[in-house]
């Protein structure tokens, strides 16, 4: 038996059936003896073998029909107990009926005696059958919990039904090799109670528990990661060096069972995620239902999420525009598989190519535009300013001008906090795009298009962002490179950002910049330390952190408002409207035309200098273009003299 329990072998069903029949025969015989007070002469005269044999036959048939022998004993539960009792009770009723009809007349016995035997047997038989399963389950738990040194000892967060399901699932896995030593909870009413043979511990005493029980992991269901209490527990685990694992909700388990591959390491994105944002889906549905929607940059991190969320609001058509062929192909397959009833048109194009984009507007006549196409990496654009201007300024201008020409109802531009008091070329190109979008409100050509800008910070896990980079560095054994020990950034999840983009899109009347509540800024060094600990490693001992210095154009701290801007609240607590500076359309178009003319000449210095003229708050940092700021200051001083 130990061999079967220790090595997770399955006992054949016929063995369990024989054990059950043996228990049934023994319990009936014992009940017979008790009622006859162990007077064996009277027992043998009372047709003992006939009555016992008949009961065993009937019980065997009933238990076989009810499949009592088919369950794995080591995983018996209350449902199995109920089935056993039902089988014994049903056997008793059928047996008594047969006895009264055909047996008592042929082999007479006092009816009261047989009723007493059956009453005792009902209790003894069901008890012994249940005890067999309880004993095997307890023995299996003891052997696997205490006798295998290779076990990984884990705690499970919470003590509700979900937590119990997780315990049963991980212990049922042949490969996970987990031993659950307890649950942790913050509810005083549950602490020190026992659930399924393990104790519920106080989350506040986690450090002592780890030392006492040698805990290696904490398992948590990931659908509640935004709750503050769990966040605190996770932070504590990370600080104590406990690796945190997540499992999906039970309704996502494959065929109702937790697959080993579904047990994942906690991601830093999960840890930084905030409480789920509530959005007004009715307003968004009214805005998008039955409309033709264009998404530029559709294959990117933000663009692809916009596509997925827009598709849930039953648009008439979604046009997926991007120049990245392979990612666009992957997105197309995903859309066709998950949204087969919504027409999705793939349009490969560069937003800088006015003629190609005009073809898109001619063919599909979009009614709503989400403009997410842009270059976003600060150092890359610092080295290639003219390309940044072409995509972020000219590309935006092309899409916006065509939106006006074709009478698009709404144009939503995705901007960035790097456009605020920019210190780099990328942020400045986005700021110029913002200025142009805002100025179109005053354009004599614009009859009906509402131009709306949304501005937010970094999104977690986006292509090329800091988190995937840190992950790759940790997998290689380090070191992790951070530019500066004090650098901070705002972070938001991609779905969260897009929720707010769609919500802001319903609010806009034209010309606004909507700013999202990004929460508290995150110190990048702290982010790196947490990611190292989440990987089960020790900072500086296993993975070193190296500071490389600020990159060209990089700020220590990001901002959400430009000089001269302030905010007004909206009905959504996470969205505010910037009180923006009003721009003359004629002046803006003149400045941008000059910028694009210089850009054609590929005169990088002249281009950046013009950008500083259009956006006076653009002060280069840690960049070769700082000299332009110094020259401009000297020129201003000379003019004053």
Q: What is the residue whose two structure tokens read 């054609």?
A: 600
Q: Which pair of tokens denotes residue 620? A: 């280069």
Q: Which pair of tokens denotes residue 113? A: 């005696």
Nearest CA to 485 among 521, 524, 459? 524
Distance CA 485, CA 266 (A): 25
Cβ atoms of residues 335 and 309 within 8 Å? no
Residues 6 or more apart whose CB falls under 8 angstroms from that of 241 comprise 533, 536, 538
Distance CA 620, CA 454 (A): 24
User: Is 530 known to be catalytic?
Assistant: no
Distance CA 218, CA 221 (A): 10
Within 189-260, where are the H helices?
206-213, 228-240
Q: What is the residue whose two structure tokens read 């104790």?
A: 199
Cβ atoms of residues 99 and 114 within 8 Å? yes
Which SS3 state, helix, strand or coil, does residue 108 take? coil
Catalytic residue among 397, 410, 418, 430: 418
Q: What is the residue whose two structure tokens read 């354009």?
A: 443
Nearest CA to 441 among 584, 554, 570, 316? 584
Q: Which pair of tokens denotes residue 224? A: 């509640």
Report CA-CA distances (Å) from 276 to 116, 223, 572: 62, 10, 13
Within 289-340, where are the H helices?
301-311, 325-338
Long-range contacts of 332-335 (CB under 8 A, 24+ apart): 334/308, 335/307, 335/308, 335/311
- Between strands 513-516 and 480-482, the pairing is unpaired
606 sits in which H/E element: helix 604-614
User: φ, ψ for residue 569 (rounded to 5)?
Assistant: -75, 160
Which DSSP symbol is given to 220?
E
Report CA-CA distances (Å) from 175 to 58, 73, 74, 141: 40, 19, 16, 16
Where do the DSSP E strands lie in 468-572? 480-482, 488-489, 491-493, 513-516, 522-523, 545-547, 566-569
Q: Which pair of tokens denotes residue 459? A: 């999104």
Which SS3 state, helix, strand or coil, does residue 410 take? strand
Residues 6 or more apart whose CB falls under 8 angstroms from that of 478 comprise 542, 543, 544
126 sits in which H/E element: helix 111-146
Distance CA 264, CA 244 (A): 9
- Active-site residues, by number, are 418
């Amino acid at each position: 038996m130990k061999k079967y329990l220790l090595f997770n072998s399955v006992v054949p069903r016929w063995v369990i059936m024989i054990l059950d029949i043996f228990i049934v025969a023994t319990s009936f015989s014992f009940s017979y003896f008790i009622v006859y007070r162990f007077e064996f002469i009277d027992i043998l005269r009372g047709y003992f073998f006939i009555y016992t044999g008949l009961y065993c036959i009937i019980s065997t048939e009933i238990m076989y029909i009810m499949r009592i022998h088919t369950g794995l004993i080591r995983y018996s539960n209350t449902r199995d107990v109920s089935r056993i009792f039902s089988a014994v009770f049903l056997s008793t009723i059928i047996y008594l009926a047969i006895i009264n009809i055909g047996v008592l007349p042929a082999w007479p016995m006092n009816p009261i005696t047989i009723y007493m035997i059956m009453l005792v047997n009902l209790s003894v038989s069901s008890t012994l059958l249940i005890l067999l399963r309880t004993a095997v389950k307890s023995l299996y738990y003891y052997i696997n919990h205490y006798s295998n040194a290779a076990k990984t000892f884990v705690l499970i967060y919470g003590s509700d039904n979900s937590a119990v399901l997780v315990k049963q699932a991980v212990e049922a896995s042949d490969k996970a090799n987990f031993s659950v030593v307890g649950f942790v909870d913050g509810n005083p009413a549950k602490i020190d109670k026992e659930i399924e043979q393990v104790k519920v511990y106080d989350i506040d005493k986690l450090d002592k528990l780890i030392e006492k029980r040698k805990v290696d992991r904490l398992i948590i269901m990931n659908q509640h990661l935004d709750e503050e209490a769990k966040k605190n527990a996770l932070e504590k685990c990370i600080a104590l060096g406990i690796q945190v694992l997540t499992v999906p909700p039970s309704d996502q388990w494959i065929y109702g069972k937790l697959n080993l591959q579904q047990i994942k390491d906690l991601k830093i994105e999960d840890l930084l995620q905030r409480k789920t944002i509530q959005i007004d889906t009715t307003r968004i549905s009214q805005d998008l239902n039955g409309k033709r929607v264009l998404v530029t940059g559709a294959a990117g991190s933000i663009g692809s999420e916009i596509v997925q969320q827009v598709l849930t609001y039953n648009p008439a058509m979604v046009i997926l525009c991007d120049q990245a062929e392979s990612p666009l192909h992957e997105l197309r397959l995903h859309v066709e598989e998950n949204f087969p009833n919504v027409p999705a048109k793939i349009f490969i194009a560069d937003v800088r190519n006015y003629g190609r984009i005009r073809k898109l507007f001619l063919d599909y006549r979009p009614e709503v535009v989400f403009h997410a196409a842009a270059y976003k990496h600060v150092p890359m654009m610092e080295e290639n300013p003219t390309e940044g201007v072409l995509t972020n300024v000219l590309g935006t201008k092309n899409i916006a001008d065509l939106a006006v020409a074709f009478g698009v109802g709404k144009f939503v531009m995705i901007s960035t906090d790097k456009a605020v008091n920019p210190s780099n070329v990328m942020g400045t190109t986005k700021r110029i795009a913002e200025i142009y979008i805002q100025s179109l409100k005053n354009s004599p050509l614009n009859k009906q298009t509402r131009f709306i800008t949304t501005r937010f910070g970094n999104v977690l896990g986006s292509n090329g962002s800091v988190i995937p980079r840190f992950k790759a560095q940790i997998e290689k054994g380090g070191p992790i490179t951070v530019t500066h020990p004090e650098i901070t950034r705002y972070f938001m999840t991609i779905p969260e950002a897009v929720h707010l983009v769609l919500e802001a899109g319903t609010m806009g009347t034209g010309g606004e910049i909507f700013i999202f509540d990004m929460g508290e800024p995150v110190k990048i060094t702290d982010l790196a330390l947490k990611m190292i600990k989440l990987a089960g490693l020790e900072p500086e001992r296993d993975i070193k952190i190296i500071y490389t210095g600020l990159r060209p154009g990089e700020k220590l701290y990001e901002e959400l408002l430009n000089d001269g801007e302030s905010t007004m609240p909206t009905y959504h607590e996470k969205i505010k409207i910037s009180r923006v500076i009003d721009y003359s359309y004629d002046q803006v178009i003149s400045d941008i035309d000059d910028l694009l003319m210089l850009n054609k000449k590929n005169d990088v210095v002249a281009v950046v200098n013009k950008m500083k003229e259009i956006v006076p708050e653009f002060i280069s940092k840690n960049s070769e273009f700082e000299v332009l700021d110094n020259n401009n200051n000297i020129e201003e001083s000379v003019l004053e003299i």
